[in-house]
Structure 1
Amino acid sequence: MTDLQAAKRVVLDYYADLDALSGDQDIAAVLRKHTAEDYSWRGMHPWHEQVGADAVAETFWVPVQEAFSPLQRRPDVFLAGESVVGDTADVWVCQMGHLLGLFDHPWLGIPPTRKMVFVRYSEFHRVEGEQIAETALFVDVISVMRQAGHYPLPPQTGSSHIHPGPRTHDGLLYETQDAAEGEATIELVERMVADLLEANEIANEIGEDRMPSSVLANCWHDDMIWSGPEGIGATYTIDRYQQQHQYPFRTNLTGKRFNGHIARFGEGNYACFFGWANLTNIATGGFMGLPGSGVDADMRVVDVYRRDGDKLAENWVFIDLLHWLDLQGLDVLARLRQLTGQEEL
């Protein structure tokens, strides 16, 4: 049995050192202390893939610390597990929540507000021994843009707000969990995914993408909460989820190809996964209020789930929409920098 508690401790020690930094302290030194020599890092657009602690510090963490200070970590979910993807028993740790700070300096061309902002994040770490070997960090940049008064997209179908953590307030799994509970959660997620794949096959046969609500009701509570990324928004109940996200997604995107996941695991009543990229699709027009492109575009997606009994109750979703739009010729950040006269990231 893999010592998941030891893996959690590796990540928590890293966070403790990173969060204690202030002023001109050496961020790269902290990353070097806690990461492997060939540390691999994945970030959303515009950071993409980086190798080594120094590159990650310079590309992401130094600008974040400079823009949002003092920076406060406010996690809502924390879990670990052996990924069910692939043939190796890789151990991953996931933390999800918000980084809170005063937005006093420009970030990615977004003008500062001098007010507090919440940077929504979900971070995955693959742990080897006493070091972090690999990280994937998803942050909701478009949410920061909206908080700063520069929302760049047409009106979204779901709600815009600071996403709360689990309704049950039990998402921080610092202590050892019953292995059977984690297995039950990941099995339910796998069953839910299988239902969706079967529905996709039926839709392709009959040419109808409006999935009946009964398919979702197999694995979801009626009062489910789907907390999607800014640009799509959050929805509540199966009915509104279908109206405000699933139907636009299914009917206005075509040529969908599932590319698999990098990691997928569960612990206790929680499960999560991410891919790079999970999904490829073609916008035909209408999704997110945007025109069609006819271009194969990748979606890098994170899902974090909470199980309540024998069904799923909550789902937090991150999508690298800036990357998906950039592949179709819309560089949102470049346009913002042009409009605000800030040419540097």
Structure 2
Amino acid sequence: MTDFQAEKALVRDYHAALAAADVATATSVLDRFTAPDWHWRGMHPFHEQHGAAAVAEQFWVPLMTAMTGLQRRPDIFMAGLNEIDGFNGCWVVQMGHLMGLFDQPWLGIRPTGKIAMLRFAEFNRVADGRIVESAMFVDIPHLMIQAGQNPFPPQTGAMLIQPGPMTHEGLMFDAQPAEIGERTLAAINAMLDNPGAKFHNVDEATRLARVWHDDMIWWGPAGIGATYTIPRYLRQHCEPFDDALSEGYRFNGHLCRMAEGHFGGFFGWANLTLTNAGGYLGMTAGPGPSEMRVVDLYREQNGKLAENWIFIDLLHYLNLQGLDVLARMANIARY
């Protein structure tokens, strides 16, 4: 068994205290569990913040103000050592939805007065009894769609509230057998070693089948959408992506890659540099290279990958091409 119970307990206590906090106490709660030089990474428009006060002011207090009764509804909870730094740093990862009553505007998004679900994936690096580094990815366009403000043309995949793992075993509060996590990490690395440069090759489905189950599910972000089975994954995600973004494509690496039990994943800052040749997400050709900050979380089954949840900071990607989605939305609201 690989034991990350102390790190998991710290993060669970942090989440419980944050759930009980309000706008007046959010900073003190963050300060209690994080290091003074806490490095926090968030989606556009939050980007990088340092210290509890900045994170509370920029992210948590506005979100708590907008979402009455905000609660955390996790589907995956795991911990592991980071392959990228030689398996030294311990990261605790949670994925699910933040749910509340959307009662006040947030980032210019109109409140609905109804339940809203904000997809999230959170990575926390724990050292010396404190959270020292975090990445908080939230699917802001998904919330916009729920509020009737879809910033994208019709998606190639399906846009819906995304469920957790089919097996319902993603909440790993207890220690897991090390050999299962090693197998999961090996499956993720096999996928990374076998991505394929072009997706129109007739043999690509065969190559993907070496690392993915035939009935794999790719839970993509709002703007791209979810897709099911290898053939539909190729048609509904890979081909549109490759048509528009293969030029100038560069993989920049990850900051964290880990696994525990049948689950694992990674994030980068930014994972990819690429140039839009035109058409992707409704954009004309980009003026130059842009970048994608990406989270991928996976469920392994019998040595292959069965499910994949993806978060991409698409608002940042579009902003680097000259389209500030949130500013455009604010300008429209003025009229």
TM-score bracket, normalised by the shorter chain, equals over 0.9
1:233 matched residue in structure 2: 225
TM-fit CA distance, 1:286:
2.3
CA contact (8 A) 1:97 1:122 kept: yes
Q: Which deviates more, 167-176 or 79-88?
A: 79-88
Q: How many residues align?
A: 334
Alignment equivalent of 1:264, drawn from 222, 235, 257: 257
2:4 matched residue in structure 1: 4
Q: Distance in 1 between matches of 2:299 and 2:75?
A: 12
2:32 matched residue in structure 1: 33
Tell me which amino acid in the other structure corresponds to 1:150: Q
CA contact (8 A) 2:251 2:271 kept: yes
1:249 matched residue in structure 2: 241
Q: Distance in 2 between matches of 1:144 and 1:117?
A: 7
Runs of 4+ residues deviating >3 angstroms = 207-211
Cα 1:84–1:339 shift into 2, 3 Å: same
1:296 matched residue in structure 2: 289
TM-fit CA distance, 1:290:
2.5
Secondary structure, aligned partner of 2:150: coil
Q: How does 1:1-345 map to 2 (within 5 A)?
A: 3-22=3-22, 24-87=23-86, 89-196=88-195, 199-200=196-197, 203=198, 212-253=204-245, 254-341=247-334
Q: Distance in 2 between matches of 1:236 and 1:97?
A: 20
Tell me which amino acid in the other structure corresponds to 1:297: S
CA deviations over 1:117-173 (Å, ceiling 9, x no partner): 000000000000210000000000000000000001111100010000000000000
CA deviations over 1:219-278 (Å, ceiling 9, x no partner): 111111000000000001111111000111112112110001000000000011000000
Secondary structure, aligned partner of 2:149: coil
In the alignment, structure 2 segments of 5+ residues that lack a partner are none
Root-mean-square deviation (Å) = 1.5
Cα 1:209–1:323 shift into 2, 3 Å: farther
TM-fit CA distance, 1:285:
1.2
CA deviations over 1:41-70 (Å, ceiling 9, x no partner): 000000000000000000000000000011
Secondary structure, aligned partner of 2:194: helix
Percentage of pairs with the same residue = 52
TM-score by length of 1: 0.94
Q: Distance in 2 between matches of 1:256 and 1:211?
A: 21
CA contact (8 A) 2:80 2:92 kept: yes
CA contact (8 A) 2:102 2:112 kept: yes
Q: Which deviates more, 56-65 or 86-95?
A: 86-95
Q: Distance in 1 between matches of 2:250 and 2:52?
A: 33
